[in-house]
Chains A and B, each alone.
Chain A
Amino acid sequence: MSTLLEPFHYEFFQRALVVATVTGALCGLIGVYVVLRGMSYIGHGLSHAIFGGAVASYIVGVSVFVGAVVWGLVAALFINKVARRRSIGADAAIGAITSASFAIGIILISVQRTFVVNFEALLWGNVLAVAPVDVLVVLGVALASTAFVFLRYRQLLFSTFDPEVAEVSGVNTARVDIGLAIMLTATIAATMSVIGVTMIAAMLVIPPVIGRLLTDSFSKMLWISVGTGTFCGFVGVYGSYYLNWSSGGTVVLTAGVLFVFAFLFSGWRRRIPALGAEPAH
Chain B
Amino acid sequence: MMDPEQLVRFDRVTCRYGREPVLVNVDLEIGAGEFIGIVGPSGSGKSTLLKAIAGSVEPIAGRIERRPGVSIGYVPQVETVNWFFPITVREAVLMARIDERRLPWPSKDEIDESQQVLERLGLGGLADRHIRELSGGQQQRVFIARAMLGRPRLLLLDEPTSGVDVRTRHDVMHVIHDLHHQGLAIVLTTHDLNGIATHLPRLVCLNREVIATGSPRQVIRSEVLEKTYGAPLEVLSHGGMPVVLEQYPELVDEEEGATVLPLREDHHEHPA
Closest A residue to B81 by CB, please name it: A279
Question: Are A279 and B80 also in contact (CB < 8 A) when A153-B104, A170-B98 are?
Answer: yes
Minimal beta-carbon separation of A205 from chain B (angstroms): 15
Question: Are A154 and B97 also in contact (CB < 8 A) when A168-B51, A218-B91 are?
Answer: yes
Q: Mark each residue of chain A from 117 to 158: 1 if its CB lies under 8 Å from any CB of chain B, else 0.
A: 000000000000000000000000000000001110111011
* Interface residue B76 (Cβ < 8 Å from any Cβ of A): yes
In the bound complex, do residue B54 and residue A273 qualify as a contact, i.e. CB atoms below 8 Å apart?
no
Minimal beta-carbon separation of A215 from chain B (angstroms): 6
In the bound complex, do residue A216 and residue B80 qualify as a contact, i.e. CB atoms below 8 Å apart?
no
In the bound complex, do residue A215 and residue B139 qualify as a contact, i.e. CB atoms below 8 Å apart?
no
* Dominant SS among interface residues on chain B: loop
| Interface-lining segment among A75-83, A159-167, A186-194, A245-253 | A159-167
Within 8 A of B (CB), among A263-281: 273-281
* Interface residue A63 (Cβ < 8 Å from any Cβ of B): no
Inter-chain contacts of A155 with B (CB < 8 A):
98
In the bound complex, do residue A157 and residue B95 qualify as a contact, i.e. CB atoms below 8 Å apart?
yes
How many residue pairs link A and B with beta carbons under 8 A? The number is 96
A279 interface neighbour in B82, B86, B92, B102, Cβ under 8 Å: B82
In the bound complex, do residue B74 and residue A169 qualify as a contact, i.e. CB atoms below 8 Å apart?
yes
Tell which of A164, A276, A281 has the most Cβ of chain B within 10 Å: A281
In the bound complex, do residue A216 and residue B86 qualify as a contact, i.e. CB atoms below 8 Å apart?
yes
Chain A's interface size range is 35 or more
In the bound complex, do residue B104 and residue A281 qualify as a contact, i.e. CB atoms below 8 Å apart?
no
In the bound complex, do residue A281 and residue B96 qualify as a contact, i.e. CB atoms below 8 Å apart?
no
In the bound complex, do residue B98 and residue A171 qualify as a contact, i.e. CB atoms below 8 Å apart?
yes
Minimal beta-carbon separation of B156 from chain A (angstroms): 8
Within 8 A of A (CB), among B66-110: 74, 76, 78-88, 91-92, 94-99, 102-105
Minimal beta-carbon separation of B89 from chain A (angstroms): 10
Minimal beta-carbon separation of A221 from chain B (angstroms): 5
In the bound complex, do residue A162 and residue B83 qualify as a contact, i.e. CB atoms below 8 Å apart?
no
* Interface residue A212 (Cβ < 8 Å from any Cβ of B): yes
A165 interface neighbour in B76, B99, B104, Cβ under 8 Å: B76
A154→B92 CA distance, assembly (Å): 10
Inter-chain contacts of A275 with B (CB < 8 A):
84
* Interface residue B31 (Cβ < 8 Å from any Cβ of A): no
A153→B103 CA distance, assembly (Å): 7
Within 8 A of B (CB), among A189-236: 211-212, 215-221
* Interface residue A36 (Cβ < 8 Å from any Cβ of B): yes
A157→B93 CA distance, assembly (Å): 12
Minimal beta-carbon separation of B136 from chain A (angstroms): 7
A108→B77 CA distance, assembly (Å): 49
Question: Are A216 and B88 also in contact (CB < 8 A) when A164-B80, A168-B54, A169-B150 are?
Answer: yes
Closest A residue to B136 by CB, please name it: A281
Inter-chain contacts of A170 with B (CB < 8 A):
98-99
In the bound complex, do residue A161 and residue B99 qualify as a contact, i.e. CB atoms below 8 Å apart?
no
Inter-chain contacts of B74 with A (CB < 8 A):
165, 168-169
Minimal beta-carbon separation of A149 from chain B (angstroms): 8
A216→B77 CA distance, assembly (Å): 22
Within 8 A of A (CB), among B146-186: 150, 163
A278→B91 CA distance, assembly (Å): 20
Tell which of B55, B78, B79, B102 has the most Cβ of chain A within 10 Å: B102
Question: Are A161 and B95 also in contact (CB < 8 A) when A168-B51, A281-B136 are?
Answer: yes
Minimal beta-carbon separation of B73 from chain A (angstroms): 8
Minimal beta-carbon separation of B96 from chain A (angstroms): 6
Inter-chain contacts of B83 with A (CB < 8 A):
279-281
In the bound complex, do residue B87 and residue A217 qualify as a contact, i.e. CB atoms below 8 Å apart?
yes
10 closest cross-chain pairs (CB), A and B: A153-B104, A216-B130, A168-B56, A168-B74, A168-B54, A273-B84, A158-B95, A221-B86, A280-B83, A165-B76
> Can you offer 19 A-B residue contacts whose CB atoms are under 8 A?
A149-B104, A154-B104, A155-B98, A158-B95, A158-B96, A161-B87, A161-B92, A162-B76, A165-B74, A168-B56, A215-B86, A216-B130, A216-B132, A217-B130, A218-B87, A219-B104, A277-B82, A279-B80, A281-B79
Having A158-B96, A162-B80, A216-B86, one finds 11 other A-B pairs with CB under 8 Å, namely A153-B104, A154-B95, A155-B98, A161-B92, A217-B130, A218-B88, A219-B91, A277-B82, A278-B82, A281-B83, A281-B136
